[in-house]
Structure 1
Amino acid sequence: MAREIDFIANAGGKKIYIQSAYALNTEEKVITENKPFALTGDSFPKVIVRHDIHKRWYDESGVLNIGIIDFLLDDAVI
């Protein structure tokens, strides 16, 4: 199974990794979306943009889970 990150944004020396998911409703889906982040080998910010949540939160690995509306309207996320 391929492990890829959906989007990588670069600006100067800064980088942010972004995954997009409609929903993370199974443990398998959570693992699938988070695995590529673990393979980066760095500490740049990592974000999962999701349709199924309304309030942003950080998981135990420091990955920001954010709803699509918040992601699109909040300039400070990236």
Structure 2
Amino acid sequence: MVQQEDEHIERLKTCTKLIFDALAIISQKASVLHMETVKEAADHLHVMELDLRRELFKVRLKKSILANRMKQTQA
């Protein structure tokens, strides 16, 4: 579970960096880019970020439930 959590965190960091980099490129070059394509690509990155956050939440929830069960069996 810890390894899964770490992987999701790393993927989320990468996705967030890509979003920030894309926004920087858009800020610098918006006048020469096709706006519909830019919006669509940015939207896909955002959806991916949301999916990664959801998956990370699921792993953390499972981990918390498992930790609680382990405490109960030790008591």
| TM-score bucket of the superposed structures, by smaller chain | under 0.3
Q: Kindly indicate whether structure 1 or structure 2 has the higher relative contact order, using CA contacts under 8 Å at least 6 residues apart.
A: 2
The structure with the greater share of residues assigned to strand is 1
The TM-score normalised by the length of structure 1 is 0.26
